[in-house]
């Protein structure tokens, strides 16, 4: 359904499933956060899980930070929701999209842990607690599936603007929230953030990478400088990929004015390549032994230098391949459009 309406009334059929999806997603995030903390931070519990080591542990090492962050953001933005008042289409749409991302992160973690269980990872460490820990995945899976179903229902019933572009974003609602609470207008500062959203994503990802690597180093009683640096870089890559993908999917910052124009072919290909390369950093880090063995080596990676080389080279190669493919696809698409 296409419409010019920027708001939907209180009785619109999309609002009930959107509200249920929101609260189900928040509940899922709270339950997942408690579960992830218990199964990773308490040695007496984590030592019995099939997913305690890489590559399976690599997934939860990110989602145990990302899911709580998404849950808090959803809850804060939901404070602008008024049941008896009309609501902007972009707000409900983006909250539903946020529910999808949060649920997808939980579902991916559950799927990874199920794979670890099916493959009997670390079978020699299983004990009497392991069946209960595996069974704890079921309520998480049910909550994520319920939230996902409600989200899909809400999005199908929401009207769409003729332009296909949202008329607001998360930064608009942040400005509205601050204005209501403190009476302060943040239009100009948030406009600056919107215009430099990639730079802010890089900064936040770097800080998150440093924070996670520092916590890991403290937990291990210290790490060599190169290993610590790689931990920072791997964390930075994972968080940066998540930030850039989330901005595209959730509309954190929608470009305005001249910046709203479609980027050029090379620039668009470069964006896709950066996301692919950044995402490859944590993937290559947790799959380093498999990559090393595919190169003809029978032993596992046993030095920080080899680990760093495999991770960096794999990320650069994937980034270059994706850049070439994205540029070629974009060029081909424009060529066909021009010939019509």
15: Cβ contacts below 8 Å, ≥ 6 apart: 8, 87, 92
Give the C-alpha separation, 136 to 18, whole Å. Answer: 27
Give the C-alpha separation, 338 to 328, whole Å. Answer: 15
Domain 8-158 has CATH 1.20.140: yes
Give the C-alpha separation, 5 to 276, whole Å. Answer: 37
C-alpha to C-alpha distances, 107 to 112, 188, 261, nearest whole angstrom: 9, 38, 35
| Domain map (residue ranges) of the chain | 8-158, 193-261, 263-340
Give the C-alpha separation, 307 to 314, whole Å. Answer: 11
Query: Residues 259, 264, 269, CA angle at the centre, nearest 5°?
Result: 115
Distance between alpha carbon 28 and the CA centroid of its chain, in Å? 15
pTM: 0.82
pLDDT tens-digit profile, the chain (340 residues): 444 447 777 777 778 888 888 889 999 999 999 999 999 888 889 889 999 888 888 888 889 989 999 999 999 988 888 777 788 888 888 888 888 889 999 999 999 999 999 998 888 889 999 999 999 999 999 999 998 888 888 778 777 655 556 678 899 888 888 888 888 888 788 889 988 999 999 999 999 999 989 988 887 777 889 999 999 999 999 999 999 999 988 889 887 765 555 667 788 888 999 999 999 999 999 899 889 988 888 778 888 999 999 999 999 999 999 999 988 886 655 544 333 3
300: Cβ contacts below 8 Å, ≥ 6 apart: 289, 292, 293
128: Cβ contacts below 8 Å, ≥ 6 apart: none
Give the C-alpha separation, 26 to 107, whole Å. Answer: 14
Give the C-alpha separation, 76 to 59, whole Å. Answer: 26
């Amino acid at each position: 359904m296409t419409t010019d309406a920027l708001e939907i009334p209180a009785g619109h059929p999309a609002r009930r499933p959107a509200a249920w999806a929101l609260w189900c997603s928040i509940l899922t995030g709270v339950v997942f956060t408690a579960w992830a903390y218990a199964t990773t931070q308490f040695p007496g519990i984590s030592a019995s899980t099939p997913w305690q080591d890489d590559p399976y542990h690599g997934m939860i090492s990110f989602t145990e930070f990302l899911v709580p962050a998404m849950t808090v953001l959803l809850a804060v933005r939901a404070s602008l929701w008024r049941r008896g008042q009309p609501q902007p289409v972009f707000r409900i749409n983006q909250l539903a999209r946020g529910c999808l991302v949060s649920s997808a992160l939980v579902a991916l973690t559950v799927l990874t842990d199920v794979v670890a269980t099916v493959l009997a990872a670390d079978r020699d460490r299983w004990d009497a607690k392991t069946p209960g820990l595996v069974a704890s995945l079921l309520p998480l899976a049910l909550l994520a599936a319920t939230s996902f179903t409600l989200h899909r229902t809400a999005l199908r019933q929401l009207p769409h603007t003729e332009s296909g572009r949202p008329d607001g974003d998360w930064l608009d609602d942040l400005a509205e929230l601050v204005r209501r609470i403190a009476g302060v207008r943040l239009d100009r500062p948030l406009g600056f953030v919107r215009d430099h959203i990639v730079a802010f994503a890089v900064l936040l990802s770097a800080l998150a990478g440093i924070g996670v690597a520092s916590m890991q180093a403290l937990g291990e009683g210290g790490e060599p400088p190169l290993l610590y640096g790689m931990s920072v870089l791997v964390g930075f890559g994972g968080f940066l990929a998540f930030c850039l993908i989330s901005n595209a999917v959730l509309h954190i910052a929608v470009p305005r004015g001249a910046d709203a124009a479609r980027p050029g072919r090379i620039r668009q290909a470069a964006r896709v390549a950066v996301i692919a390369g950044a995402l490859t950093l944590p993937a290559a880090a947790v799959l380093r032994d498999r990559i090393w063995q595919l190169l003809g080596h029978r032993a596992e990676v046993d030095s920080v230098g080899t680990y760093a080389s495999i991770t960096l080279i794999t990320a650069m190669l994937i980034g270059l391949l994706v850049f070439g493919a994205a540029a070629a696809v974009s060029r081909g698409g424009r060529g066909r459009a021009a010939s019509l």
